[in-house]
Structure 1
């Protein structure tokens, strides 16, 4: 029993202090974590399927030319960028249990529409609106996780959440390979078209599950499976929120823009997210296709190793960030180093094996989704509205950079070398190193200021508790 308990602590953290809190945490994990993971899994499934379709026949069937695939990805992130603020404002007023499943159903319907397109420009229109609705998922869920879980609990849960998206990418490749073998030509549809139909059929029940079972936030939940005592405990067990979510106005803008959190975490995530470029642009699929040495099935199967590496790195580094929350900056240093190494290997790969190593290693960069957002969640817990805007801004500005960064440095016409992209990868790795060190230094300064403020507060409390006894002042400790 002692060994099992120690193992449980290492893997999942210390158990809750009371039976009631342990029961509550099980329910939160089951209803909150399972839904957001399923939603993010299908989010990436519906997002990453285009590259798999492209290398499985869509390029020839639809007559793709030049950089049209990259243009579609850029348009997708344009919708994703423009959807950040509207979706965030909607979540300020509309319950997440309603809005998140609605957006999930919307992008599922758009995925279905992609199965019946006849020209690349039709995909461009669909992908723009798909990006707009998908914008609600990642940031909305990051805020949800920060609303339910303690600082020492959130890293592991965020790691599981982001890993579910990578599992969606992995599953999309495996599924496309299987569909190409078994369904190509069925009912008059090419194999790549069936991929979008099946993705839609998977998406719908997940959206329905969210509408029926998702519990909103601790302060607004009406979930029948949570008792009144558990609802109260869900609020009480978290750090006190001094600024509630939902209040919009000039005061919120000032609290955001005039704080170091907004500037530091936006720059940090811009740097970190754009070291994922080999992985997020499907560079391995495009490279494998360009060699003409691999079958359609292999071009879909082999890149799943990138997502597999991402899942392992995300879980391990998410665990590390919970084990020592004050040292989440270590992960930023590691990711800057792996970005520089993968870029250098791609730039002058001595063998084909070295290029495989570089591209698979780039999957490690996905771990930043877990740690950087957990870091921001922790440091801004006291201001719920500000936390929401900072998280949305991180994703919005990283998408803005992605719009032109992928088109300039990682487009399909640059295959199979991506020389400029390799240099850009190393440069972004160096920028990530600077941003990580800068954010850590600002965190330390904040902790010193809060420590001095706490000392003054304790001193004031001591004075207030003083009383006079026999004409002499007595101070209670």
Structure 2
């Protein structure tokens, strides 16, 4: 049996130290309900999943986002990119990334994630390194495709992995920390390129942008080895060296108790696909994420605008990096707030609603340069990806393979759209105002808000129906009464969640 503390046990709660009470507020809001054994297990999981996952995702974003840094630091001139070649390079990367999302993520339900993701990270490190030797933009097309193909399974697989281990009071902030490590990787790329450009440009006859790819490729290998040695795989097949037999058994029991189905419980095939496509969840979550993700493209053109505005090489590498630091802070705040309050909808809808402001400014492109700078700097505030994927993990907790397929579909199909949408609305020949691109993303923000409200309404309806199915059988004349009782029970469950949150605050 699970050995967690029982809620509302004052004797157990009073035994907590001040730090443990503080941790209940600042980290996991249900810490005071957990036994020392469970808290120790979570610390080990955070080391094995969160720390090593963040390092890998940091490198994944650094290795994929360095193209923009290289482009504005001499690659454009060296490879004679005078048309839309930069856009096409992004497209080839996106095609590789999108095509291998679903098969790659589904593979980790059958193959140990530590081994599979290690192979993939080594692969994208090799092709990141290879870009340093590109002589033509055609070669860069091939290298970018391979980088995207090897990077594809990492993000959705890690989301699936975290969703298999953590509960609803733990998951969102950890996904947020994992996700913001990508923003830090993008931000670090700007500082790294600025340092490389000023110290290595011309060394051994190579341009600074080529040295950037060499440095990034060399940094990737140690992170890949860390994945192989530390990632704990899944609760059902973990053999992590730092987990005892009792901790592995407890973790599996905990996962099952949380209602998370395990790999292999259902066969793959047409039956699985039929179940997935017969539910609104796949359509709603995929559509919502595709629309939302497509609305977040504005910040990718920050450095290009700065170059057209006359900023120097170092400035257009460093200043956009500051916007990614703002994004990273907001990503964590949205995940922390979502776990603390227990609300997914508020922290999905709210940040995207703010997105109307920066996308609106860029859509109308005012003459005031400071407003444009403000829009680019704060465009990442709308990033609530971590909470969105947490929401998806929870809505599909009882369907293991469908959860993996849906998460990879969300990310993969969003990148599939990103493979061609920038060519249509963000052609480089329309830089820097992009009179189709910025108004288009403004419309996508509005559409995303509408879809998110629809997901919330359908999720609430399903919860009411689940309560009704669990209730005792009623006669035909009791239907109306039963529906009122279910509605009352549904509202009371939300009240209980709020009461738990207040209890956590009172601990401090």
**Equivalent residue, structure 1, for 2:78:** 61
**Equivalent residue, structure 2, for 1:253:** 273
Shift of 1:65: 2.0
Provide the rounded CA distance (Å) in 2 between the counterparts of 1:336 and 1:45.
25
**Equivalent residue, structure 2, for 1:357:** 374
Instruction: Name the CA shift for 1:64/1:381 in 2 (closer, same or farther; >3 Å).
Output: same
Q: Is the 8 A contact 1:340 1:425 kept in 2?
A: no
Q: Is the 8 A contact 2:353 2:382 kept in 1?
A: no
Provide the rounded CA distance (Å) in 1 between the counterparts of 2:417 and 2:78.
31
**For 1:455-466, what aligned pairs fall within 5 Å after superposition?**
455-456=471-472
Shift of 1:163: 0.5
**Equivalent residue, structure 1, for 2:501:** none
Provide the rounded CA distance (Å) in 2 between the counterparts of 1:348 and 1:163.
28
TM-score by length of 2: 0.86
**For 1:29-428, what aligned pairs fall within 5 Å after superposition?**
29-238=46-255, 239-242=258-261, 244-245=263-264, 247-279=267-299, 282-292=300-310, 294-325=311-342, 327-346=343-362, 347-366=364-383, 368-428=384-444
Q: Is the 8 A contact 1:84 1:136 kept in 2?
A: yes
Shift of 1:5: 4.5
Provide the rounded CA distance (Å) in 2 between the counterparts of 1:125 and 1:85.
21
**Equivalent residue, structure 1, for 2:3:** none
Provide the rounded CA distance (Å) in 2 between the counterparts of 1:88 and 1:422.
32
What is the CA deviation profile of residues 133-159 of structure 1, one whole-angstrom value per residue up to 9, with x for unaligned ones?
A: 111111101000001111110001000
Provide the rounded CA distance (Å) in 2 between the counterparts of 1:154 and 1:34.
14
Q: Is the 8 A contact 1:55 1:289 kept in 2?
A: yes
What is the CA deviation profile of residues 378-404 of structure 1, one whole-angstrom value per residue up to 9, with x for unaligned ones?
A: 111111111011101101211121122
The unaligned stretches of length 5 or more in structure 1 are 458-477
Shift of 1:242: 4.4
Of 450, 463, 484, 1:447 maps to: 463
Q: Is the 8 A contact 1:335 1:429 kept in 2?
A: no
Shift of 1:243: 6.2
**Equivalent residue, structure 1, for 2:478:** none
SS of 1:10's equivalent in the other structure is helix
Instruction: Name the CA shift for 1:321/1:82 in 2 (closer, same or farther; >3 Å).
Output: same
Instruction: Name the CA shift for 1:2/1:22 in 2 (closer, same or farther; >3 Å).
Output: closer
What is the CA deviation profile of residues 102-157 of structure 1, one whole-angstrom value per residue up to 9, with x for unaligned ones?
A: 10110000000000101111010011111111111111010000011111100010
Provide the rounded CA distance (Å) in 1 between the counterparts of 2:202 and 2:347.
47
Instruction: Name the CA shift for 1:242/1:95 in 2 (closer, same or farther; >3 Å).
Output: closer
Provide the rounded CA distance (Å) in 1 between the counterparts of 2:137 and 2:87.
11
Provide the rounded CA distance (Å) in 1 between the counterparts of 2:411 and 2:23.
33
Shift of 1:332: 2.9
Provide the rounded CA distance (Å) in 1 between the counterparts of 2:107 and 2:180.
26
Q: Is the 8 A contact 1:338 1:361 kept in 2?
A: no
Instruction: Name the CA shift for 1:419/1:378 in 2 (closer, same or farther; >3 Å).
Output: same
Q: Is the 8 A contact 1:142 1:373 kept in 2?
A: yes
What is the CA deviation profile of residues 421-452 of structure 1, one whole-angstrom value per residue up to 9, with x for unaligned ones?
A: 12111100110111110000011011101111
SS of 1:152's equivalent in the other structure is coil
Shift of 1:250: 1.6
The unaligned stretches of length 5 or more in structure 2 are 1-15, 474-508
Shift of 1:249: 1.1
Once superposed, what is the RMSD of the aligned Cα atoms? 1.7
**Equivalent residue, structure 2, for 1:464:** none
Provide the rounded CA distance (Å) in 1 between the counterparts of 2:262 and 2:103.
21
SS of 2:47's equivalent in the other structure is helix
Deviates more, 1:142-151 or 1:405-414: 405-414
Shift of 1:336: 3.2
TM-score by length of 1: 0.92
Shift of 1:6: 4.7
| Paired residue total | 453
SS of 2:42's equivalent in the other structure is helix
